[in-house]
């Protein structure tokens, strides 16, 4: 496996690059580490998506203090599938704390209808806020900020890259090349990634195909490699 520097010098070919080279905090990889064994010994299958980052941020279906079978969702064709917007995956045993700048790469089925892709007790990211495709709502540490997209997201399966930089500015892109939201000031509170999707106004009858989270701003060069890798694996192309 070539290092990141070699990948960059060779133009970032995805086959020569691994996301592990960039040290993510969490990586739920498409069609990888997914199982349905009986985790709570109650006689039925339970959903588990093993974190590939090595940080043990496994996705446990319907898990709070115990597994709620009716809210687990299921795996289908390499992705996690919700039956309704109450289904969710718990992030690790508690949550993943994102402080200051962070970067999130997520492939999911966007309906632009209150799709809450990630959240915690006082935090969330909600596409299609108010059932309005032009709106997205963030909540950091209990503080809510609403944004209007420069370009409305496409519905269906897409890769979204969400970044908050050190200057507390947010930007969002779709499938690598479409700038949905240019740098816009946001609040500076911490974000507790506890559930993905949130499980309350989560994703209704939709899928999460891949999720990668960094507790830092990812460089432009890293972003190009990560996005190319995710797009290829998930049979997507840049817009």
- Residues 70-120: tens digit of each pLDDT: 889 999 999 999 988 889 899 988 789 999 999 999 999 999 999 999 988
Domain boundaries, the chain: 21-233
**Per-residue b/e over 20-47, b at no fewer than 16 CB within 10 Å?**
ebbebbbbbbbeeebeeeebeeeeeebb
pLDDT in tens, the chain (239 residues): 345 554 444 444 456 899 999 999 999 999 999 999 888 888 888 999 999 999 999 999 888 767 888 889 999 999 999 988 889 899 988 789 999 999 999 999 999 999 999 988 889 999 999 999 999 999 998 999 999 999 999 999 999 999 999 999 999 999 999 999 999 999 888 999 998 887 677 888 889 999 999 999 999 999 999 999 999 999 999 98
Structural class in CATH, domain 21-233: mainly beta
pLDDT tens by residue, 119-136: 888 899 999 999 999 999
Check residue 62 and give its pLDDT: 83
Quick one: 188 exposed, middle or buried, by C-beta within 10 A (0-12, 13-18, 19+)? middle
C-alpha 85/C-alpha 31 separation (Å) is: 22
Is the Cβ–Cβ distance between 212 and 230 less than 8 Å? yes
Question: Other C-beta atoms within 10 Å of 179: how many?
Answer: 14
Beta-bridge partners for 63: 67
pTM score of the predicted model: 0.92
Q: What pLDDT, on a 0 to 100 scale, did the predictor assign at position 4?
A: 56
Which residue in 96, 196, 187, 172 sits closest to 141, CA to CA? 187
pLDDT of 138 reads: 94
Q: Report the alpha-carbon distance of residue 25 to residue 54 in Å, rounded.
A: 8
């Amino acid at each position: 496996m070539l290092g990141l520097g070699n990948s960059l010098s060779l133009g970032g070919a995805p086959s020569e690059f691994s996301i592990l080279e960039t040290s993510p905090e969490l990586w739920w990889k498409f069609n990888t580490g997914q199982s349905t064994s009986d985790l709570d010994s109650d006689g039925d299958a339970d959903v588990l998506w093993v974190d590939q980052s090595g940080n043990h941020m496994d996705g446990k279906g319907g898990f709070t203090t115990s597994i709620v079978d009716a809210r687990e969702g299921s795996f289908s064709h390499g992705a996690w599938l919700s039956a309704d917007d109450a289904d969710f995956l718990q992030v690790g045993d508690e949550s993943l704390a994102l402080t200051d700048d962070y970067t999130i790469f997520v492939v999911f089925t966007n309906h632009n209808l209150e799709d809450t892709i990630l959240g915690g007790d006082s935090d969330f990211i909600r596409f299609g806020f108010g059932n309005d495709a032009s709106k997205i709502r963030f909540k950091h540490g209990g503080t809510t900020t609403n944004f209007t997209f420069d370009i409305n997201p496409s519905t269906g399966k897409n890769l979204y890259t969400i970044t908050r930089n050190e200057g507390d500015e947010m930007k969002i892109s779709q499938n690598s090349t479409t700038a949905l939201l240019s740098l816009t000031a946001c609040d500076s509170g911490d974000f507790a990634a506890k559930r993905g999707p949130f499980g309350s106004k989560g994703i209704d009858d939709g899928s999460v195909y891949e999720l990668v989270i960094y507790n830092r701003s990812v460089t432009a060069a890293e972003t190009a490699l990560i996005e190319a890798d995710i797009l290829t694996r998930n049979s997507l192309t840049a817009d």
